[in-house]
Chains A and B, each alone.
Chain A
Amino acid sequence: MRKLILSSLLLSFASYGDVMVLDNGDISTSACAYGRGQAAITQAQNSAAAELSRFIKGNKTLEFGDDSESFESSLAQVYSNSRDTILEGLNSGRMQFTIGQPYLQGSDTCLVVAVNVKKSLSSSNTPDSLEWQDDSSTVTVTVIGEGWSKAGDSARQRAEQDALRRAISRVVGIYLSQNSVQSSQTIMQISNNEEHNALRDLMSQQMSSRSAGLVKSWQPLASKKLSKDGLQVTLQVVVEKSPLIAQSNDFLDQIGSPRVKVIADDNFEPILKTWLSEQGIETGSGASLQVIAKHKLRGPANSKRLSLTIEVRDLANNLYGKWDNDPSLVALPDSEHLLDDLTRVTFEMPEQLKTLQQAMSKAFINVVSQGGLVREIKIRSSYLSQPEKLHAVISTIGGVKDVAIFTKNKYLVASLRYPGDTRELALILQNSLAAISTPSFPNGQVIDDQTILFN
């Protein structure tokens, strides 16, 4: 048997502890750490690894002294050849150790850790995923699309459209994940996967209609028939980066820097306004969105808790997002400054602020995904020569969604969603409504961000 216990041979290396070299090429040692559980296991593991590292650094060969039993020459050779690689692995923390089953010794947790000199180190890195390289003007992706013939389009056309949409979605995803979003608004910092996916889907959905400007070229790589006359195609798509960045930034500007009006109790208004401005959100009285804070104090006198709700609504009171704090986190005894204390603490809690930030971000994304804010167009009925065509005319305006017409007193009111500026909408309406109005049709007045009046 060619097993050698080095500790018994190397008196000069007493500090190495019980390091053993086995015939199979394992250099192993055991180490203990006080305590129980993963923390103790990790500590013991680290001690053992450090012990092995010290041992290998201190011993260029596995042969010591003339009077010691010499190692199998092949093992000594392998060690000699791979020592540098092992040391490199140890230094970079990539060394693969064999970790034994932990066992208890009194209050300590112990384990055996071994490194094998025969096994070559796996230095191959995991294949890199697609990267957003700044020095290239395009990104090339390979995507699969599926389609079934419908409404005059062949299955191939629909599969290709699907693949192109997926290509844009994927590139948008890469852009979002590999660039901290190019927006000055920290509220748009993407913080989790779910939010990231929601935003990516929304952006690619918005951009897919303009895919022609984004896709530089594409070529089919493969195609496969699917059931019910469907087709699956694999395309290699080259996407232009600069228009995608420009469109993304426009989009992010729309949802990242809205102007809001804060409606809150005196205790909350200053702190909420400060926080919003830190997030790049402008506050002011003429805003189209409202951030409304409501609170309640609950609990017995010795432990009062704050329940705080913050809602994002438009002027028509449609709800876009809501955030509730976690009242269980803080409780303080009743006092004159109780509400102030609870508010200060709530706005100092990173986790709470993170959820608030996410709720706000989601609310602003909701505004865009629903087609913009709700506007009311009030037109004195007498100015319209063909009121029955009002719905059709307004529906043709680019970007307008969810049109509803109703009568209120002497006015015809059109309720609609529009993603752009209210003044811009007023100008467009002025031109569009000319065809169905009387010659005396007045100019539209923007009453507030929600209402345009033709009176």
Chain B
Amino acid sequence: MLKKILVSAIVTTLIVGCQSTGPSNQTNKVTVKNKASNASIAKSAYDFADDDITVPAYFDTQGLERCTFDIQKESDGCPLKKPIVRIYFDNNDVAGQGKGVEHLKEVNNLKLVQMLENQLAGLSRFRIITRDDQVIGQEQETYLAEQGASAYAKRAASQRILAPDFVVKIDTTKTVDTFYAQSSGVMDYTLEMTAAVIDPFTKEKMSHPNIGKIRVKSADVVKSKDELNVVIVSGRYYSGFNFADPQVVQAMMSDMASRGFDIFLTRMLSEMPATAQVLGIKGDRLSLDRGQNAGVLVDETMIVFQYEAGFVEPIGVATVTPSKQSASGKIVKWKNSKLADSIKKQAGSGIFRPGNGVKIFAVSVGTPANFLENRT
């Protein structure tokens, strides 16, 4: 018996030894997929389990000490300072073998830019300079006519056009393919978007925020796939999806871009979460030092964590409601830990205020659960 055990032990050792000299295996091979992208949104704080209460990436523990709170002269070290950007779409990069490639080239990118400007402005991550010169020019002319040169001059002299820190460039590739069946064909449009943040003076493309690639397919934005069927007779459109009508193609691309922007926004919110410092905890109520001004959104799910000597310690998960300059929230679930218990106890008998070098922060976990429903 002892001999058997000894032999098996030697064999095991040999096998282990052989394994340890082989190549390390830290990566997995996966198939690169070409599927349409999807949006990820935060869970409601009420759905969090204890293990889910961890601190998400990209939190920022900078306090408001360096802030001037003057939006035009905000100090560089202030977390409320937002980069000023102008948004560009690249020229129409069109590919594919399908029908109507030439009509795809006519899609007006400026309309898409304005749509993205509107959506991105609401996130309060950037300050956006609009490229809608037509409306601005028209309004300035009307203002001058209605208010007079003196009032116009006074306002124009006191309010300068913002100077952009960066440009946000959206690169798109639009593809159209037509698949032929017996009696009809099916149009298949694809829109691929990548976003870059570029310093226009140093030409540097910034590494952050990293939005990645977003792919939207026409089949994702139509109610029924039959809407994409088309009958082509002698190589020309006969009935079904009118690939030759610029307005129809523009509408399809706008729908696709809109979906792409929704995904873009959710990724942006994960890449640039809102962080706020906790001023106090009373019972399960939280008071935060910033709100809408730091991009905290309505019904934001936030992880509350203690920050001490470079270490983060999750305390709980809260649902937060912002006001203009501050926010208040409710810790829905406390982390099962000694620290959380201690704070909970102190907060239960009055207002717990962090002190002595210990700071408590709250960081958003991504797009609020009801954001896509209510804002897109």
Contact = CB atoms under 8 A, between A and B. Distances in A.
Given A107-B324, A332-B137, A341-B144, A38 B68 contact: yes
A398 interface: no
B160 interface: yes
Contacts of A40: 69
B157 A349 contact: yes
Nearest to B280: A105
Interface stretch (A116-124, A186-194, A323-331, A384-392): A323-331
Contacts of B293: 36
A104 B279 contact: yes
Contact of A345 (B70, B156, B326): B156
Interface stretch (B36-44, B147-155, B189-197): B147-155
A348 B151 CA distance: 9
Interface residues of A, number: 30
Contact of A331 (B140, B291, B326): B140
B152 A348 contact: yes
A239 B11 CA distance: 112
B183 interface: no
A351 interface: yes
B289 interface: yes
Interface string A344-361: 111011111000000000
A428 to B, nearest CB: 48
Contacts of B324: 107
Contacts of B140: 331-333
A35 interface: yes
Contacts of A328: 160-161
A37 B69 contact: yes
A303 interface: yes
A106 B133 contact: no
Q: Which of B134, B156, B279, B291 has the most A CB atoms < 10 Å from its CB?
A: B156
A40 B69 CA distance: 10
A40 B140 CA distance: 33
A106 B68 contact: no
A36 B157 contact: no
Contacts of B160: 328-329
B323 A107 contact: yes
Nearest to B279: A104
Interface in B125-163: 133-134, 136-138, 140-141, 144, 149-150, 152-154, 156-157, 160-161
Contacts of B326: 104, 106-107
Interface string B191-207: 00000000000000000
B325 A329 contact: no
A42 to B, nearest CB: 12
A339 B81 CA distance: 38
Contact of A302 (B133, B157, B161): B133
A277 interface: no
B328 interface: yes
Nearest to B324: A107
Interface string B69-94: 11000000000000000000000000
A345 B152 CA distance: 7
B67 interface: yes
Contacts of A352: 157
Contacts of A38: 68-70
A341 B133 contact: no
B374 to A, nearest CB: 24
Contacts of A302: 133-134, 136-137
Interface in B149-179: 149-150, 152-154, 156-157, 160-161
Contacts of A34: 325
A345 B144 contact: yes
Contact of B138 (A39, A333, A346): A333
A270 interface: no
Interface string A296-332: 0000101100000000000000000000000011111
A180 interface: no
B141 A37 contact: no
A329 B64 contact: no
A416 B186 CA distance: 88
A270 to B, nearest CB: 15
Contacts of A350: 153-154, 157
B296 to A, nearest CB: 13
Contacts of A106: 279, 287, 323, 326, 328
Interface in A110-169: none
A274 interface: no
A335 interface: yes
Contact of A36 (B136, B153, B325): B325
Nearest to A40: B69
A117 to B, nearest CB: 31
Given A302-B134, A345-B144, A329 B156 contact: yes
Nearest to B153: A348
B133 A332 contact: no
Given A36-B69, A303-B136, A332-B140, A344 B149 contact: yes
Contacts of A332: 137, 140-141, 144
B287 to A, nearest CB: 6
A331 B143 CA distance: 12
Interface in B261-316: 279, 287, 289, 291, 293
B298 to A, nearest CB: 16
Nearest to A105: B279
Contacts of B323: 106-107
Nearest to B80: A36
6 contacts: A34-B325, A38-B70, A329-B157, A332-B141, A345-B144, A345-B152
- Nearest 3 interchain pairs by C-beta: A37-B69, A348-B153, A333-B137
